[in-house]
Amino acid sequence: MQHIFIVNPAAGKGRAKARIVPQIEAYFAAHPALSYEIHVTEAPGEGQAFVEARAAAGEPVRFYACGGDGTLYEVINGAYRYDNAEVAVIPLGSGNDFARIFGKSDKLCDIGAQVTAETRRFDLIDAGGKVAVNQCSMGLDAEVCAKQTYFKRLPGVSGELAYTLSLVYCLFRRLNSEFRVTVDGKTVCEGKMLFALCANARWYGGGYQGAPRAVPDDGQFDCVLVRKTFGRLKLASLVGKYKRGEHLGWDFTTFVRGRTMTIESKAPAAVNVDGECDYVTESTFTLLPGAVRVAVPDLESYERIVGPERARQQAEVAAAASR
C-alpha cells in the first residue's frame, strides 16, 4: 500500500508542515520497506484534485489529511469514489472538529499508529456533487460558518474563538429563515427557523456539539432543527448549553434521524457543507452509507465516544420490535 500525506501548510496558523513532516520522514526512514509520499498543497481545491488523480490510478493507497477540517474535506471528496482508497485524519488545524469523534487520543498524531490502524466504513452525506463527512446545515449556523473564515485570519484567533466571534456578529443580523424541512419524504418542520442541521458526526465550529448523539458509522444521519420562538437575548443565553450538546430536549428543537433531508427556503439562505458555504433556496442531503474507509488508530478511544449511543440505538430498536 502507498501512504500519501496531504499536508496543508496554512493549517494551524502555518505551523502544520513544520510539525508533521519531520515525524513522517523519521518514521519511514525507520521502515524503508514502506512506500510513502508527502504532498504539500499549494492552493484551495488543489488537494482534492491531487487525491482524486492518485486514487484513480487504482493502486491501494491511504491518504492522510494533515491539516484541519478543510483539508479533510478535500481528501474525502477526492478519495471516496475509489474502493482502493482509504483516509486517515491527522488533526493539525485550528478546529479539528471531525477528529473529536475519535476521542482525546495521542495516537491521532502518531505516524506509526496511523499507518498500522484498522479502518472502519464511515457514512458520508451527499450534498449534490460534494460530500460531507461531518455536518451540513442551512440557516444561522451556516451563516456563522460563512463569516468564520474572516475571524480565523486574525492573529491569535483559534477555530473555537473564530466561531464564537462570528456567532456574536451574526446575532445582530437577521436571525430567522422561513424553512420547510422534509426527512425521508415526511415534513417534520415548517415555518420560522434558526437553522436546520444534518449531522454524521457531533462537533463543529471549533467544539460546538450540535449533534450530540450522532454516530458516523450507523447508517443514518441526525437531523437537528431549531425553531425561531425567541429573541436575541434568549438566544445568547442558550449558546453555552448548545455548545455542550444540551439542546435536544428543548421544546423548540426537533430531533429525528433519516437518510434524506430536504430544506426549502423562501429566500436565499446560507448552506454549509463541512465548512464550504454558499447561498441557496433549496438543499437536499442524502446519506451514502459506508461510503469511505477511515483509519481509526485508537479503537478503544473511538468506542468510548460512540459506543454508548450505539448501544442506546440498539436498545431502542429492540424495544420497538417487541411492541
Q: Is residue 318 part of a domain?
A: no
Q: Is residue 75 part of a domain?
A: yes
213 and 257 in a single domain? The answer is: yes
**CA pseudo-torsion sign 221, 79, 51, 34:** positive
282 and 302 in a single domain? The answer is: no
User: Does 165 have pLDDT greater than 90?
Assistant: no
Assigned C-alpha cell, 177: 429563515
pLDDT tens sequence across 172-214: 776 678 999 999 999 999 999 999 999 999 999 889 999 999 9
Higher-pLDDT residue of 295, 143: 295
165 and 267 in a single domain? The answer is: yes
196 and 239 in a single domain? The answer is: yes
pLDDT tens sequence across 71-122: 999 999 999 999 999 999 999 998 899 999 999 889 999 999 999 999 999 9
Higher-pLDDT residue of 293, 176: 293
308 and 227 in a single domain? The answer is: no
CA pair distance 285, 301, nearest whole angstrom: 29
Q: Is residue 127 part of a domain?
A: no
Q: How many alpha carbons lie under 13 Å from residue 292 in its C-beta half-sphere?
A: 31
213 and 179 in a single domain? The answer is: yes
- Quickly list H helices, the chain: 11-14, 16-30, 46-55, 69-79, 111-115, 140-152, 159-171, 232-243, 299-322
Number of domains comprising the chain? 2
Give the DSSP per-residue string, 260-316.
EEEEEEEEEEEEEETTEEEEEEEEEEEEEEEEEEEEES-HHHHHHHHHHHHHHHHHH
170 and 198 in a single domain? The answer is: yes
Q: What is the CATH number of the domain that holds 212?
A: 2.60.200.40
Average pLDDT, the chain: 93
Give the DSSP per-residue string, 114-135.
HHT-EEEEEEEEE-SSSEESSE
304 and 254 in a single domain? The answer is: no
Q: Is residue 230 part of a domain?
A: yes
77: helix, strand or coil: helix
Q: Which domain range does residue 155 map to?
A: 132-288
Q: What is the CATH number of the domain that holds 41?
A: 3.40.50.10330
| Residue 152 confidence (pLDDT) | 73
305 and 208 in a single domain? The answer is: no
pLDDT tens sequence across 42-65: 999 999 999 999 999 999 999 999
Give the DSSP H/E element, type plus range, for residue 86. Answer: strand 85-91
138 and 245 in a single domain? The answer is: yes
Lowest mean pLDDT among 10-14, 114-118, 304-308: 10-14
- Structural contact between residues 212 and 202, judged by C-beta atoms closer than 8 angstroms: yes
112 and 158 in a single domain? The answer is: no
177 and 272 in a single domain? The answer is: yes
Q: Is residue 29 part of a domain?
A: yes
Q: Is residue 54 part of a domain?
A: yes
- Closest listed residue to residue 189, CA positions, set 179, 197, 199: 179
Q: Is residue 11 part of a domain?
A: yes
Q: Which residue has the cell 423548540?
A: 252
Q: Is residue 319 part of a domain?
A: no
| Residue 140 confidence (pLDDT) | 87
Lowest mean pLDDT among 70-74, 153-157, 282-286, 295-299: 153-157
